[in-house]
Amino acid sequence: MDPEIIYEDENFLAIDKPAGLMVHPARVSAKKMAAGEKEPALTDWLVKKYPQIKNVGDDPSLRPGIVHRLDKETSGVMLVPKTQEYFEYLKSLFKTHAIKKTYVAVVFGILKKNEGIIDAAIGIKNGTLKRSVRSKKMAKPAVTEYKVVKTMRLPGADNKEADFSLLAVTPLTGRTHQIRVHLASIGHPIVGDPLYGPKKQPAWARPPAFSVAEKDRRGNRLMLHARSLEFAPEPGRVMKMEAETPFFLP
């Protein structure tokens, strides 16, 4: 599935990245490349559609045009600069937290508070790529705000009704897996999360647009979506880029 262009001008693109598409490829060996084991990525689509972007970025050979990222399993709004000058501008906005990010997430259970702040440093678990608020290894400060939009009774993994909550989430820092780790740390992991959630997931976490074979290959649909980015595309002007939430709830 290709990204959808939300907005475009001479400086940047705003796109809606689909779930299941990685932003940029991991470094792979020449042997794997020759065997065709390179997984499709957003950067492939970008360079094909906008060849000038192949020279933009901190590491354009691997991440052309990428100034921020979303997890492979996460869908939603991304900004892509078309020039190196605008890359540096957007990079400065992200670095100074001058871009407001709003996500929506469906989580297991009902939260005790309708809104709150999770302020917990995130580190890497020894021997894995997973993150945890309990690990001190390479731990960095992380802050996430959340607000309950609504609660729902929906079929659980065993098809019996269970409690779920729809949240609006704003990460105030930009750590890897931040929202996923923070919500799991308070006992409310995101539905469809293969890394931080339970092994058994509700059937509705799988997108109906996929075939059975694709469902088996891709696993559950992570119920996390980057709903909007609000920022100044230039000094003195504010824009809000939004992408419709693609969740298919029963």
Return d(Cα 174, Cα 160) in angstroms, integer.
Answer: 36
116 and 191 share a domain?
Answer: yes
56 and 143 share a domain?
Answer: no
80 and 113 share a domain?
Answer: no
Residue 224 lies in a domain: no
Residue 218 lies in a domain: no
Q: Give strand pairing partners of 17.
A: 76
Residue 174 lies in a domain: yes
For position 31, what pLDDT does the model report? 46
For position 249, what pLDDT does the model report? 65
Task: Tell me which residues are annotated as active site.
Answer: 71
For position 198, what pLDDT does the model report? 94
108 and 132 share a domain?
Answer: yes
Sequential DSSP letters for 55-69? G-SSSTTTSTT-SS-
Residue 213 lies in a domain: no
Amino acid in position 212: V
85 and 104 share a domain?
Answer: no
For position 206, what pLDDT does the model report? 67
For position 42, what pLDDT does the model report? 96
Strands 131-132 and 143-155: what pairing? Answer: unpaired
Nearest Cα residue to 243 out of 23, 9, 79: 79
Return d(Cα 140, Cα 122) in angstroms, integer.
Answer: 5
62 and 117 share a domain?
Answer: no
Residue 59 lies in a domain: yes
Q: Give strand pairing partners of 80.
A: 13
Return d(Cα 187, Cα 111) in angstroms, integer.
Answer: 9
Tokens 């824009």 locate to 239
- pLDDT per residue, tens digit, the chain (250 aa), is 789 999 999 999 999 999 989 999 876 544 444 455 678 999 999 999 999 999 999 999 999 999 999 999 999 999 999 999 999 999 999 999 999 999 999 999 999 999 999 999 999 988 888 999 999 899 999 999 999 999 999 999 998 999 999 999 999 999 999 999 999 999 999 999 989 999 999 988 865 444 344 444 445 689 999 999 999 999 999 999 999 988 766 6
Which pTM does this prediction carry? 0.89
Domains held by the chain: number: 2
151 and 67 share a domain?
Answer: no
Sequential DSSP letters for 181-218? HHHHHTT-PBTT-TTTS-SS--GGGS-TTS-HHHHHHH
For position 212, what pLDDT does the model report? 40
Quick one: DSSP state of residue 53?
G
65 and 10 share a domain?
Answer: yes
For position 69, what pLDDT does the model report? 94
144 and 79 share a domain?
Answer: no
For position 203, what pLDDT does the model report? 87
For residue 144, give its domain range.
100-205
Taking the CA atoms of 213, 106, 198 and 28 in sequence, report the sign of the dihedral they define. Answer: positive
